[in-house]
Amino acid sequence: MSDIYGPPKGLDDYVLKAQAMAYDGERAMFEAYGRNKYASTGVIQWMLNNGWPSTMWHLYDFYLQPAAGYFGTKKACEPLHIQYSYDDRSVVVVNSLRLGFTGLIAKAWVYDFHLRRLFFRRSETASPADSVRRLFVIPEERIATDVYFVRLRLSHKAGRVVSTNFYWLPKTPSSFDWSIEHEREHPYYSWVTRTEDLTELSQMAKVQLDASAHRAPGGKSIQVKIKNPSGNLALQVHLAIIGEKSGEEVLPVLWQDNYFSLMPGESRTVVARYDLPPQDGPLRLQVDGWNTDAQATQFGEAKPGLGKTNGGAVGGDSAYQ
């Protein structure tokens, strides 16, 4: 962690960095398997859950709190999914359904650390049933800063978004020693000869997000509308439902999405479903993130029609389209 993101400044910073690493690592593992399905031999998920609070590799813990790794896995395992390949920088559409699609539009943006656009590509494609389709490669020579961002979107021609993805990447990735000598000595590990450097992320400007939350009739789900009104990226935005009396997160909870990123001007609508313990009383929404200080929002009155998901669609009002 310290080599990649920098030494933690305290417990909160340690947890923040651990969650980012878990999201990135879990997503990469399942995306690699999806891209190489029927050639790769499988995935061993260690571990699914912990018997205690932890920050390492799990999807959820003893208290059923979903961690960043859960949402990285959920993102990677979308039935129709757009992704970036760490090994060859290709943009790939993975279809895990027994249904083919035509008239899809894939878009890829690359930004430097200061959100200056370095690359953009639009590609019309089809996605046959149970398929993997490489669309294009992001050229390495376009990368101008030590840390850069890749933003992907897959939509129908009519405009409905079916998959999005967002990556924070180092200009120089980690390298490994795969020699047989090391495999004999430590058969479960590969040696890292050079560690990627993402410490520049600690210099990201702070972002204050606009958020509102409304209960659905029956009080078992909420709809959160969240927007980034600033001119800076909001990375790894995290949402939680907090009980006023206990001060604790309401668990178990099923978020449509979490630990996502918002470009300047971008907005999201996200639904969460939960069983409310009666002793928690009034609820509030807590929003925090990599460069977002924790802020609380009271729930609004219940509105008819809330609680319906929007398929993970991302708002189209970003200035960085």
How do the residues of the chain divide into helix, strand and coil, expressed in percent and rounded to 5? 15, 40, 45
CB of 121 closer than 8 Å to CB of 84: no
Distance of alpha carbon 90 from the chain centroid: 19
Tell me what the mean pLDDT of segment 255-261 comes to: 97
Q: pLDDT: is 271 or 144 the higher one?
A: 271
Q: How high is the pLDDT of residue 217?
A: 79
The model's pLDDT over 135-162, given as tens digits with 9 standing for 90+, comes to 999 998 878 889 999 999 999 998 999 9
**What share of the chain has pLDDT > 70, as a percent?**
90
Q: Give the residue among 286, 241, 239, 242 at the shortest CA–CA distance from 261.
A: 239
Residue 315's pLDDT band, with cuts at 50, 70 and 90, is: very low
Closest residue by Cα to residue 274 from 208, 213, 222:
222
Which of 270, 260, 261 lies closest to 313 in space, CA to CA?
A: 270
Predicted confidence band of residue 310 (pLDDT cuts 50, 70, 90): very low
Average pLDDT, integer, range 71-95: 97
pLDDT at 314: 47
pLDDT on residue 313: 42
Whether the pLDDT of residue 29 is over 70: the answer is yes
User: Quick check: 312 pLDDT over 50?
Assistant: no
Mean of pLDDT values over 182-186: 64
Domain ranges of the chain: 1-77, 82-171, 210-300
Tokens of 142: 């376009």
Confidence (pLDDT) at 57? 82
Class of domain 82-171: mainly beta
pLDDT band at 187 (very low <50, low <70, confident <90, very high): low
pTM higher than 0.85: yes
The CATH code for residues 210-300 is: 2.60.40.10
- Of 206 and 311, the structure prediction assigns the larger pLDDT to 206
| Phi, psi values for residue 202, rounded to 5° | -70, -10
pLDDT surpassing 80 at residue 53: no
Res 126 pLDDT > 90: yes
